Structure 1
Amino acid sequence: MSTAGQTVVVTPGRRLGLAQEYESGIGTYVRNGMIYSSILGTRKIKEPTGDSTNDKETSTNKPVLYVERDNAKFAIPVVGCEVLGRVVRINPRAASVAIMMVGPVPCQEDFLGMVRVQDIRATEKDTVVMVESFKPGDIIRAEVISLGDQRSYFLSTTKNEHGVVFAQSSDGNTMVPVSWEEMQDPETLAIEKRKCAKTF
């Protein structure tokens, strides 16, 4: 398999390229004419071989854009750094998060983080409802604001670029953000509340 282009570590929800220029491969999805990463890994490009007997991905003679999972490297969260994590459970006061990535470096093992209800949004903090911000299984981008206690780091999603970057609906479909507070299942058109991150 040949690859082209610069090797870049990407996170779920990260924009990778134009759908008109590339085919969407493993670890990606298409939204509004753009290809996005659905997993943590390295952005890769597979050039077409021109062989019509090849699989569907290369039969269009367009390069295939895909994400390849990396062997994890060792990273430790520190105050002020940006992290990527999976929400593992929630209660009315906080969401527990398994930190998977610190900056551009994947973690060798999950660190536990916590997003308290007062650290979800920068404004109207007294009206924030946890179940309308995150759900277990969501992938979120957040900032480490404190080392917390021995069991978890304290995280914040108050910045526009922080919040949910990848989520699945109750039907198992990848949802897309339709506003700062809502995501939609493109198959069923069902709307669910989330604290969405600004994607780039």
Structure 2
Amino acid sequence: MASDILLPGQPVFLRGPAPSLGGGLYLSEGQVRASVVGVPRQQGSTISIPRIRPHPPTTNSVVLGTVTRLTPIQAMVSISVVDDVPLPTGEEFIGVIRNQDVRATEKDKVKIGDCFRGGDVVKGSVISLGDARSYYITTARNDLGVVFATSEAGATMDPVSWKEMRCPKTGRLEKRKCAKPEGLVGN
């Protein structure tokens, strides 16, 4: 049994004799599946998934979200994951990445349109609670920035540097503020 966080509907892989099912699990077509977000736990002969309660972002929370709107000075992000915990369907928080919060150096040269595009998935860190409607997010660390983007040709792009991604279909480079992929040396 893995110790990864499971989402509702994902299968739970069991080893050994089948335990009895506790809360957070169900049986579908002979497969044990998660019904809540959480990590499977086995206690005696019973396996269950205690529900992980999502919490609103706080200062220093690491968030994942999708860019929903761009202006010349900021990117609006619909936050869907807070500190590795997915938010329930229908619950979302709004984040704002201001041009001065995109990178640590040359802040005055940042052009939001060269860093993000609508639909990009961004990893960021909350720097303040912003106003009543949104959280201020930074991508000014090497591990923060765009983690998933689709090219104009519709393909999933690969990062080639901290500021460019390549379309595997066309080979064309597009500007983004990329998050350094985990385990990558150099860049």
The match for 1:75 is 55
- TM alignment of 1:14-29, pairs within 5 A: none
Q: Which residue of 1 aligns with 2:120?
A: 138
Structure 2: runs of 5+ lacking an equivalent: 14-32, 38-52, 183-187
TM-superposition CA deviations, 1:59-93 (whole Å, max 9, x none): xxxxxxxxx99856532100111101100010110
AA in 2 matched with 1:74: P
C-alpha distance in structure 2 between counterparts of 1:182 and 1:123, whole Å: 17
Number of residue pairs matched by the alignment = 147
> Does residue 102 of structure 1 match 2:73?
no
- Partner SS, residue 96 of structure 2: strand
What stretches of structure 1 move > 6 A for 4+ residues in a row? 40-46
Give the match for residue 166 of structure 1: 148
1:183–1:45 CA distance, 2 compared to 1 (3 A): farther
Post-superposition offset of 1:171:
1.3
Match of 1:155 in 2: 137
Q: CA deviation at 1:166?
A: 0.3
Residue 64 (structure 2) aligned to one of 84, 87, 100: 84
Query: Matches of 1:90 and 1:103 in 2, distance apart?
Result: 24
Equivalent position amino acid for 2:2 in 1: Q
Deviations 1:32-81 (A, max 9, x none): xxxxxxxx9999798xxxxxxxxxxxxxxxxxxxxx99856532100111
2:4 pairs, out of 1, 8, 21, with: 8
Q: 2-side partners of 1:70 and 1:179: how far apart? A: 39
Contact 1:79/1:147 (CA < 8 Å) preserved in 2? yes
- What secondary structure sits across from 2:103 in the alignment? coil
SS of 1:174 mapped into structure 2? coil
Q: 1:189 to 1:121 in 2, by over 3 A?
A: same
Q: Which residue of 1 aligns with 2:48?
A: none
Cα pair 2:10 2:34 within 8 Å, conserved: no
Partner Cα distance (1:69, 1:180) in 2: 37
Alignment correspondent of 2:47: none
Residue of structure 2 aligned with 1:185, choices 133, 151, 167: 167
In the alignment, the residues of structure 1 paired with residue 120 and residue 97 of structure 2 have an alpha-carbon distance, to the nearest angstrom, of 13
The 1:93/1:41 distance shift into structure 2, 3 A limit, reads: farther
Q: Distance in 2 between matches of 1:69 and 1:94?
A: 38
TM-superposed CA distance for 1:137, in Å, is 0.2
Cα distance in structure 1, aligned partners of 2:9 and 2:171: 31
Q: Secondary structure, in 3 states, of the residue corresponding to 2:100?
A: helix
Give the greater-gyration-radius structure (CA): 2
Normalized per residue, which structure has more strand? Answer: 1
Residues in 1 aligned to 2:172 and 2:10: alpha-carbon distance in whole angstroms: 30
